[in-house]
């Protein structure tokens, strides 16, 4: 697509939706001054800028505060939408409790690295390495004066004590020889869907949930048309957003599938790729 046509599309944009990790954030999980400045410039032009992340809200609240998002924030791959101003839950699509227990039984018996994420507490297998990502966020939250997330290990059948709706489940670093059997198991459960938000990671949500559905819901809340939306992403779980936008951008460090599908490929996340695309196409 010619730069002039991309620029024309960019001038119609009223909402920018960006993935967080490896897209808007640097690889050290910080927000660059360049990206923040470009976002502020877009907002001055009347563009609403928000996040669409695989993270639960409590794991991105510090960034929402820095960005000062006054409107819907799409969390947990679209399983929950939260108002950035008030923190009020606008919509939630949890996994049925019986299905949560079924998947946890399957993962526990095979000693997988697994977790169940709720809006209040995140639960992890005894052997979880993924928990380190959440511990790192708690350090960032503490620096911003925010309350840390509750992180708990699940021992034995202790998951029966989960008292909150599970918005997303994670299975991490599944042995290659187990993968086909795991996919067959997940495909046998019509109440769920799954995607991948990182190498070696499976994200499991309620059926019909994904980032595309989240963007569509946010778009309806703001009474915007598809061609008024620009999306940024880097990994496979970002791909459904492309169906809900008139302008689609991949960062240079994105998965090859995403770069092939994007209308525009910008610089990497560590080189302020989001800012450079905003400046080139929208401002």
The answer to whether residues 137 and 158 belong to one domain is yes
Q: What pLDDT sits at residue 165?
A: 92
Strand partners, 48: 15
Pair (32, 168) in one structural domain = no
Q: Are residues 125 and 77 in the same domain?
A: no
User: Does 172 lie in the same domain as 114?
Assistant: yes
113 φ/ψ angles, rounded to the nearest 5 degrees: -85, 110
Residue for token digits 């939306």?
A: 229
Are 269 and 236 in a shared domain?
A: yes
Same-domain pairing of 123 and 165: yes
Q: Which two tokens stand for residue 212?
A: 């595309």
Radius of gyration for the chain, computed over Cα atoms and rounded to the nearest angstrom: 18
Q: 92 - beta bridge partners?
A: 80
| Residue found by looking up tokens 């410039």 in the block | 41
Q: Please give the residue range of the domain that contains residue 272.
A: 3-92+210-281
List the one residue out of 280, 273, 242, 244 whose CA is nearest residue 260.
Answer: 242
pLDDT at 260: 97
The rounded distance, in Å, linking the Cα atoms of 240 and 233 is 10
Residues 127, 82 within the same domain = no
On whether both 112 and 182 belong to a single domain, the answer is: yes
Same domain? For 20 and 151 the reply is: no
CATH no. for residue 109?
3.30.1240.10
Do 167 and 37 belong to one domain?
no
Helical pair 3-11 and 273-281, crossing angle rounded to 10 deg: 90
User: Would you give per-residue pLDDT tens digits along the chain (283 residues)?
Assistant: 888 999 999 999 999 999 999 999 999 989 999 999 999 999 999 999 999 999 989 888 889 999 999 999 999 999 999 999 998 999 999 999 999 999 999 999 999 999 999 988 899 999 999 899 889 888 888 887 888 888 988 876 556 668 789 999 999 988 889 989 999 999 999 999 998 888 888 999 999 999 999 999 999 999 999 999 999 999 999 999 999 999 999 999 999 999 999 999 999 999 999 999 999 999 9
pTM (two decimals)? 0.90
Q: What are phi and psi of 52, to 5 degrees?
A: -130, 105
**DSSP-derived secondary structure letter, 147:** P
Neighbours of 101 (CB within 10 A): 16
Question: Of 172, 206, 240, which closes a domain?
Answer: 206
Question: Is the domain of 87 the same as that of 10?
Answer: yes
What pLDDT is stored for residue 208 in this prediction? 95
Which pLDDT value is given to residue 176? Answer: 87
| Separation in Å, CA 104 to CA 30, 116, 137, 175, 252 | 33, 8, 24, 17, 36
CA 268 – CA 283 distance, rounded (Å): 19
Considering 154, 188, 206, which residue would you say is the last residue of a domain? 206
Which of the listed residues 173, 206, 239 is the one where a domain comes to its end? 206
Q: What angle is formed at CA 52 by the lines to CA 113 and CA 114, rounded to 5 degrees?
A: 10
Q: In this structure, are 138 and 181 located in the same domain?
A: yes
What is the domain count for the chain? 2
CATH number of the domain to which 68 belongs: 3.40.50.1000
């Amino acid at each position: 697509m010619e730069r002039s046509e991309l620029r024309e599309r960019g001038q119609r944009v009223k909402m920018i939706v960006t993935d967080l990790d490896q897209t808007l954030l640097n690889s050290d999980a910080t927000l660059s001054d360049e990206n923040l400045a470009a976002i502020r410039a877009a907002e001055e032009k009347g563009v609403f800028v928000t996040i669409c992340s695989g993270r639960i809200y409590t794991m991105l609240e510090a960034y929402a505060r820095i960005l000062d998002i006054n409107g819907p924030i799409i969390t947990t791959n679209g399983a929950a939408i939260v108002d950035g101003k008030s923190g009020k839950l606008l919509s939630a699509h949890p996994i049925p409790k019986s299905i949560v227990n079924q998947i946890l039984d399957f993962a526990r018996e095979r000693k997988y690295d697994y977790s169940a994420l709720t809006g209040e507490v995140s639960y992890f297998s005894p052997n979880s390495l993924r928990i380190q990502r959440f511990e790192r966020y708690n350090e960032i939250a503490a620096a911003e004066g925010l309350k840390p997330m509750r992180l708990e290990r699940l021992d034995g059948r202790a998951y029966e004590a989960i008292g909150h709706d599970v918005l997303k489940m994670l299975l991490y670093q599944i042995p290659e020889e187990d993968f086909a059997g795991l996919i067959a198991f997940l495909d046998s459960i019509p109440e769920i869907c799954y995607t991948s938000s990182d190498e070696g990671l499976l994200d499991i949500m309620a059926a019909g949930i994904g980032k595309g559905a989240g963007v569509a819901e946010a778009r309806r809340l703001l009474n915007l048309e598809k061609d008024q939306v620009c999306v940024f992403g880097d990994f496979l779980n970002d791909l459904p957003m492309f169906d809900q936008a008139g302008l689609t951008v991949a960062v240079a460090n994105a998965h090859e599938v995403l770069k092939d599908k994007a209308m525009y490929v910008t610089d990497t996340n560590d080189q302020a790729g989001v800012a450079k695309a905003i400046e080139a196409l929208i401002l």
